[in-house]
Amino acid sequence: MIENMRKQILIGSGLFILCQLVILFARLMPLRAGEIGQPGPDLAICLLFAWLLRRPDQLAAVGIAGVFLLEDILLLRPLGLWTAIVLLASEYTRSREARWRDQPFMVEWLRVSIMIGVMMLGYRVLQLVFVLPVPSLTKISLQYIQTVGFYPLVVLGSRWLFGLRRITAADAEMMRHNR
């Protein structure tokens, strides 16, 4: 029983990291060469929160930090700044998951929307404090709106593709006893 749970955790962690790497690869692809368009949604953040609120036992902080640090490096962002913000937000969300578990999806969507907004605002403020180049507020606002709008689709897709669903209180109790 315990071996089966550990196997599920390893498979879930590996699948999450693989999905994040696919999203990163897609972001790096030059789909419209020479054309600067609107920023797209941050699907990596959507997937992180969807996974974290459904299977928090499968995501280790080290894996989250590693994926987002690689993203910082490859997307030429300030090294570790977005990673630190994502890690703080994910650990805050993980600590609240048990309280949020029985809430309807609309409440979850609102809370995740607020969390993403606070993350983006904190990132922008820190960029200003450290005198780093800051993208226009219009682009950040569009990315925020698209990210929040895509969250339900990512949740639906993760449930359909990976069978990712919220754990029940009984599942959480069983996971806690098997540690």
Q: How confident is the model at residue 179 (pLDDT cuts 50, 70, 90)?
A: low
pTM of this prediction exceeds 0.85:
yes
- CA–CA separation, 79 and 102 (whole Å): 37
Distance CA 172, CA 54 (A): 11
Sign of CA dihedral 18, 141, 96, 86: positive
**Mean pLDDT (whole number) for 97-110:** 89
Number of CB atoms found within 10 A of residue 169's CB: 10
pLDDT in tens, 11-59: 889 999 999 999 999 988 876 665 666 788 999 999 999 999 998 888 9
pLDDT over 70 (residue 143): yes
Whether 150 has a pLDDT exceeding 80, the answer reads yes
Rounded Cα gap, residues 109 and 113, in angstroms: 6
Nearest to 175 by CA among 80, 88, 75, 97: 97
pLDDT at 101: 83
